[in-house]
């Protein structure tokens, strides 16, 4: 007996704990075999002989424990099920001891299924499904695409409205549909081009070189648009990695605390107070952010500060969004511009902080590379610019 994709699999499909209803789902070839001994034979015959989707109500009987309890059986026949295999769902009361007894009975030795496959007698067992295995089988059996399979995971793990809506859109095949559309256009263009080549010696112009160039440009433009969307922060169940970067005493920790609305980072007048990266989660405009406050980047520092700066660069390289914080009351220096240029992500915002003080940095003073990205003036003391920063679409 071997275990593999041909085995029947089962799993409890409802959250753990007590509930009015719990569901145990089974999928695989000859899955109906495992209902024998649990329900009255006539109830099983009634629904197994029918095609498509069927259900019935009966009593679930666990012989070893001498338990008889009401339950419902739902059957989805192949190929019209989620996995494109035969699926059985047993619905009963959500009692943890009852579910444990039922799982033990289904998995107990001696319940293997024997059937003929290509005139060869095959014996298969039943086992607990691996995480995501029902969706894996749906993909392998052609029910859903790989992009849709990934979206199922993101739907389950989504923590905010934005994450859920994006995952549902992908689940509906938005990207898959787009790629099929592009493929169809390219195939059609190739066919017309080949036909034009075949009949080039006749006085028929099926498609001109200008038309070919125009259609290719349109396809290229659409592909570039999708590519640009792909470079935006990836919203995942871990959250968008958002990192505060800047020189010491730029006000990064104060801004970090203000956005969180709680004192997560220690703030003092002493330059270089933050020596390690601090992490915190928050939901902003429906998007889950994994925020990191980092040590200010200083040159010619002590060994301890140098180690802190190394961590800052590590966080910056891993970031999906960078808030580049500048002290608006101090002159902008070349080292800040060099630091800004070293940021690899395309999603960065220059935050000119401390606008409540006399300003030495205004928009006109910023170099062109900073102006190419959003610039927001803020003051932690007065709250100026914080709402604009929160609503910035770079998140």
DSSP letters spanning 117-173:
ETTEEEEE-EEEPPTTHHHHHHHHTTSS-HHHHHHHHHHHH--SHHHHHHHHHHHTT
Verify cis geometry, omega within 30 degrees of 0, for the bond prior to 124: no
111 and 193 belong to one structural domain = no
Considering 230, 262, 295, which residue would you say is the last residue of a domain? 230
96 and 170 belong to one structural domain = no
23 and 106 belong to one structural domain = yes
Structure confidence by residue, pLDDT tens digits, 338-360: 889 988 888 899 999 998 888 87
The crossing angle, in degrees rounded to 10, of helices 146-157 and 133-140 is 160
CA distance 199 to 302: 76
Q: Answer yes or no: is pLDDT of 145 > 80.
A: yes
153 and 279 belong to one structural domain = no
164 and 126 belong to one structural domain = no
**What mean pLDDT comes out for the span 294-318?**
74
The crossing angle, in degrees rounded to 10, of helices 161-171 and 146-157 is 160
Q: Answer yes or no: is pLDDT of 129 > 60.
A: yes
For residue 72, being part of any structural domain is answered with yes
Contact status, residue 170 vs residue 148, Cβ threshold 8 Å: yes
**What mean pLDDT comes out for the span 25-36?**
90
139 and 152 belong to one structural domain = no
CATH number at residue 36: 3.30.1360.120
For residue 205, being part of any structural domain is answered with yes
316 and 244 belong to one structural domain = yes
At residue 269, the pLDDT reads 47
215 and 254 belong to one structural domain = no
Q: Is 21 helix (H, G, I), strand (E, B) or coil?
A: strand
At residue 267, the pLDDT reads 45
CA distance 348 to 304: 28
246 and 387 belong to one structural domain = yes
What is the total count of domains within the chain? Answer: 3
Q: Answer yes or no: is pLDDT of 232 > 60.
A: no
Q: Is 10 helix (H, G, I), strand (E, B) or coil?
A: strand
**Would you state the torsion angle of the CA atoms of residues 2, 124, 27, 142, taken in this order, to the nearest 10 degrees?**
60
Q: Which of 14-23, 42-51, 260-269, 367-376 has the lowest mean pLDDT?
A: 260-269
pLDDT band at 2 (very low <50, low <70, confident <90, very high): very low
Structure confidence by residue, pLDDT tens digits, 174-212: 667 777 888 899 999 999 898 888 887 777 778 888 899
Mean pLDDT computed over every residue of the chain: 82
pLDDT band at 229 (very low <50, low <70, confident <90, very high): low
Q: Answer yes or no: is pLDDT of 230 > 60.
A: no
The CA-based angle 381-379-317, given to 5 degrees, is 120
**Residue 185 domain boundaries:** 144-230
Contact status, residue 153 vs residue 163, Cβ threshold 8 Å: no
Q: Which of 178-192, 362-376, 381-395 has the lowest mean pLDDT?
A: 381-395
At residue 160, the pLDDT reads 66
* Residue appearing with tokens 């059985």: 88
* Residue appearing with tokens 């905010």: 160
Of all residues in the chain, the percent with pLDDT exceeding 90 is 26
At residue 303, the pLDDT reads 65
250 and 368 belong to one structural domain = yes
96 and 151 belong to one structural domain = no
Of all residues in the chain, the percent with pLDDT exceeding 70 is 83
Q: Is the dihedral of CA 48, 50, 52, 57 positive or negative?
A: negative
pLDDT band at 72 (very low <50, low <70, confident <90, very high): very high
254 and 387 belong to one structural domain = yes
Which regions of the chain does DSSP assign to beta strands (E)? Answer: 8-12, 19-27, 53-62, 67-76, 87-94, 113-117, 120-124, 126-128, 240-246, 278-284, 287-293, 321-327, 348-353, 375-377
Considering 170, 205, 230, which residue would you say is the last residue of a domain? 230
Contact status, residue 275 vs residue 305, Cβ threshold 8 Å: yes
* CA proximity to 81, closest of 131, 135, 127, 8: 135
Considering 185, 204, 230, which residue would you say is the last residue of a domain? 230
Structure confidence by residue, pLDDT tens digits, 272-300: 445 567 888 887 766 778 888 888 776 65
* CA proximity to 166, closest of 240, 81, 260: 240
For residue 2, being part of any structural domain is answered with no
């Amino acid at each position: 007996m071997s275990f593999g994709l041909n085995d029947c699999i089962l799993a409890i499909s409802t959250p753990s704990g007590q509930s009015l209803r719990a569901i145990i789902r089974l999928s695989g070839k000859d899955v109906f075999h495992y209902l024998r001994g649990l329900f009255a034979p006539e109830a099983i015959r009634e629904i197994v002989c029918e095609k498509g989707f069927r259900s019935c109500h009966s009593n679930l009987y666990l012989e070893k424990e001498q338990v008889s309890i009401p339950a419902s059986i739902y059957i989805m026949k192949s190929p019209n099920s989620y996995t494109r295999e035969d699926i059985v769902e047993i619905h009963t009361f959500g009692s943890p001891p009852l579910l444990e007894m039922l799982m033990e009975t289904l998995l107990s030795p001696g319940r293997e299924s024997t059937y003929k496959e290509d005139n060869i007698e095959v014996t298969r067992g039943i086992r607990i499904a691996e995480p995501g295995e029902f969706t894996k089988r749906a993909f392998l059996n052609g029910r859903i695409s790989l992009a849709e399979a990934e979206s199922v995971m993101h739907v389950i793990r989504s923590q905010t409205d934005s994450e859920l809506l994006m995952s549902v859109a992908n689940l509906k095949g938005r990207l898959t549909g787009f790629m099929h559309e592009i493929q169809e256009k390219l195939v059609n263009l190739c066919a017309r081009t080949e036909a034009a080549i075949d009949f080039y010696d006749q006085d028929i112009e099926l498609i001109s070189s200008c038309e070919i160039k125009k259609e290719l440009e349109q396809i290229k433009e659409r592909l570039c648009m999708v590519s640009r969307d792909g470079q935006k922060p990836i919203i995942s169940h871990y959250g968008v990695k958002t990192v505060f970067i800047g020189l010491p005493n730029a006000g990064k920790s104060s801004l970090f605390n203000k956005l969180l609305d709680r004192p997560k980072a220690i703030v003092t007048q002493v330059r270089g107070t933050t020596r390690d990266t601090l992490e915190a989660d928050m939901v902003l405009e429906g998007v889950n952010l994994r925020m990191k406050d980092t040590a200010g980047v200083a040159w010619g520092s002590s060994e301890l500060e140098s180690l802190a700066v190394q961590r800052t660069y590590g966080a910056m390289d891993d970031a999906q969004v960078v808030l580049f914080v500048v002290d608006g009351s101090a002159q902008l220096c070349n080292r800040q511009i060099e630091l800004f240029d070293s940021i690899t992500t395309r999603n960065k915002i220059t935050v000119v902080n401390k606008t409540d003080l006399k300003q030495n940095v205004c928009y006109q003073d910023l170099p062109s590379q900073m102006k190419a990205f959003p610039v927001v003036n803020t003051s932690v003391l007065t709250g100026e610019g914080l709402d604009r920063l929160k609503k910035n679409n770079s998140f």
